[in-house]
Amino acid sequence: MSLPIPPTNTTPLNTKPLDVQPHTVSKRDTVSANHDVERWSHRELLQELKNDFGMYGNPYTGLITPDYLQKLADGIAEWGPPPTPRQMKIAQEVLRQTTLFEEFDSKSKMDGIAYDDLAIELGDYNNLSDNGVIKLLIAHFDELGGGDTYVNLKELKQAAGRIPSDKTYSAGATAAASLLLDRPKLYAAVDKGIGFLGLFSGKVDDRFDMANLNYQEGKTSHQQARHRYPNLKLLAPGVAWEIW
C-alpha cells in the first residue's frame, strides 16, 4: 500500500503527516451515529475535537479547517481509515456551528484551529507545543508581569509556585510560567528575543517583553510536547515537569 502524496500548502509546518497517529476504531466509535450531538455544549464539542484531533485535524497542516471537516463529513480522510458515522456527524455539527471558527480566527494567526488552540481554550495544558506555550504566555503576560513592560525570572518562579509570593495566579498563568521554566531552550530563546527595531538579537538578561514573545510565536515548533519532549513527565496539570 502506498502512502498519499502530501498536497502543497503554505502552512509553516512539516510536509509529512504531523504528530497525529492514524485513527483506529474504538468501541465508542462502533456505537450508532444517532447521538444527540446537536445538544452538546460548546465545551463538549471542543473537548471531542481535542481528544480525537488525529481524525479532525488535517495530518499535513496540523489544523482543523472547514474544508477538511467537509471531507470528513463526506466520509473521506487524508490519513488512516475513513471516519466513522459518529465522527462524520460531529464534523457536520462543527460545520453547522459557524461561529466556532470565527471565535478561533479572532485569537489565532493561523488559518484554522490548532491543537494548542483547543487545549488552551479548555485549560488542558499537558501537551502544549512550544508555540502553544508562547501563546499562553502572551495571554497571561500582564498577570505574570504585574502590568510592567517585562516579565522577569523571579516573577516566573513566583507564578509557578517555586518561590513564595503574596499574589494569587490563575491556572493559565501558573501553567505558562511552569512550562517555560521547564523548557530551557525555549526559555533561552524567549529571554534573548529580538533587539532594537527588530534588526538585531536581544540580550540575555532573564526577562522578556511582548516583542520577544511575538517574535518567538512565529518561530517556535508546533510539535506536541509528548513528541518534542519525550523525556519529560507532567507531575500535575499545568504545574511542573521532571526528567524521567
Q: What is the pTM of this model?
A: 0.76
Rounded Cα distance between 35 and 171, Å, is 33
Can you give the pLDDT of all 244 residues of the chain as single tens digits? 444 444 444 443 333 445 444 444 444 443 334 458 888 888 999 999 999 999 999 988 889 999 999 999 999 998 889 999 999 999 999 999 888 888 887 777 778 899 999 999 999 998 999 999 999 999 999 999 999 999 999 999 999 999 999 999 999 999 999 999 999 999 999 999 887 666 667 889 999 999 999 999 988 888 776 666 665 554 333 333 332 2
Rounded Cα distance between 83 and 9, Å, is 23
- Output phi, psi for 195, to 5 deg: -95, -160
Q: Return the pLDDT at 227.
A: 61
Q: Return the pLDDT at 242.
A: 32
Nearest of 189, 222, 221, 216 to residue 204 by alpha carbon = 189
Q: Return the pLDDT at 200.
A: 60
Q: Name the region of 114 (left: φ>0; alpha: ψ -120 to 50; beta: rest).
A: beta
Nearest of 224, 221, 222, 197 to residue 211 by alpha carbon = 197
